[in-house]
């Protein structure tokens, strides 16, 4: 199951690359040609001008949709900057948009994560922050990545914490008011389980929420990892 999950994440990444380098570029080129045509066709009769304008609008919608699909399939932050720097940039950007105080730290040591694991970790953080933004009513969030060696194998623990309103964890069984919040939490748990990991939720009304995901990784970690990188 874990191997299948990694293969699926890698396939998503490759499909995202193909869409970005192929379909999206074709759409952008077509948009450029339509814009040039619009600039040159100042004498078009009104019906033709309306059709051209509608075509431009629909093409822009297609470009936005393609970009959204690519972003869902391929975390561009991770592709462009690596997991740690990409997550740091993402957390900082989301915090600025939400008006949060953000803390980010990563202690990975000498660890080389498979692209599928990197994508899965990014998705988990992404979903946790989306939930916090929609429901937590917090002013502070914390994201931590920590790699350590256990008796069995190296493992990576990802923790996303907020200091918001929290909720009764027993409602995860189906009593949450908003179905999307329930699906977001269940999605994180299922993603962790597919990778052979463990999902842990700590929350209570008025006590904030902490999501902790621990994933086994096939890599060696330094016994003395470097100091965490922090952003506030």
- Per-residue pLDDT tens digits for 112-162: 888 878 888 998 998 899 889 988 999 999 999 999 877 767 899 999 999
Percentage of the residues of the chain whose pLDDT score is greater than 70: 75
Q: What is the pLDDT of residue 173?
A: 63
Q: What is the DSSP string of the chain?
A: -HHHHHHHHHHHHHHHHHHHHTHHHHHHHHHHHHHHHHHH-TT--HHHHHHHHHHHHHHHHHHHHHHHHHHHHS-HHHHHH-HHHHHHHHHHHHHHHHT-EEEEEEE--S----HHHHHHHHHHHHHHHHHIIIII--SEEEEEEEEEE-SS-EEEEEEEEE-S----GGGGGTT-S-HHHHHHHHHHHHHHHHTT-EEEEEE-TTS-EEEEEEEE-SS---SSPPPPP-B-
Q: Average pLDDT, stretch 200-215?
A: 94
Which whole number is the average pLDDT over 199-219? 90
Q: Is the pLDDT of residue 89 over 70?
A: yes
Which has more pLDDT, 207 or 111?
207
Q: What's the pLDDT score for residue 228?
A: 41
Task: Retrieve residue 75's tokens.
Answer: 């975390």
Q: Are 208 and 161 contacting, i.e. CB atoms less than 8 angstroms apart?
A: yes
For the ranges 45-49, 159-163, 167-171, 221-225, the maximum mean pLDDT occurs at: 159-163
Of 73, 52, 60, which Cα lies nearest the Cα of 27?
60
pTM: 0.66
> Looking at the predicted structure, is the pLDDT value of residue 220 above 80?
no
What is the structure's pLDDT at 159? 97
What confidence tens digit (pLDDT) does each residue in 35-83 have? 898 888 888 898 998 999 899 899 888 888 777 676 666 677 887 888 9
- Shortest CA distance to 128 belongs to which of 187, 53, 68, 84? 187
Helix (H) or strand (E) holding 88: helix 83-98
**What is the structure's pLDDT at 209?**
95
Categorize the per-residue pLDDT at 17 as very low, low, confident or very high, splitting at 50, 70 and 90: low
Q: What is the pLDDT of residue 139?
A: 96
């Amino acid at each position: 199951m874990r191997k299948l999950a990694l293969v699926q994440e890698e396939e998503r990444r490759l499909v995202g690359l193909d869409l970005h380098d192929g379909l999206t570029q074709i759409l952008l080129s077509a948009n450029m040609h339509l814009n040039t045509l619009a600039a040159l066709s100042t004498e078009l009769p009104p019906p033709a001008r309306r059709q051209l304008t509608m075509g431009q609008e629909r093409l822009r919608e297609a470009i936005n949709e393609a970009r959204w699909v690519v972003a869902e399939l391929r975390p561009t932050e991770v592709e462009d900057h690596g997991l740690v720097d990409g997550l740091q940039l993402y957390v900082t950007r989301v915090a600025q948009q939400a008006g949060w105080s953000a803390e980010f730290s990563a202690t990975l040591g000498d660890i080389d994560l498979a692209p599928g694991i990197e994508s899965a970790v990014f998705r988990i953080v992404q979903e946790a922050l989306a939930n916090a933004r929609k429901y937590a009513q917090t002013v502070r969030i914390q994201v931590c990545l920590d790699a350590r060696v256990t008796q069995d194998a190296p493992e990576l623990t990802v923790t996303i914490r907020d200091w918001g309103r929290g909720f009764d964890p027993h409602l995860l069984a189906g009593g949450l008011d908003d179905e999307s919040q329930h699906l977001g939490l269940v999605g994180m748990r299922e993603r962790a389980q597919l990778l052979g990991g463990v999902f842990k939720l700590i929350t209570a009304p008025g006590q904030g929420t902490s999501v902790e995901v621990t994933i086994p990784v096939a890599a060696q970690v330094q016994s003395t990892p470097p100091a965490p990188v922090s952003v506030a």
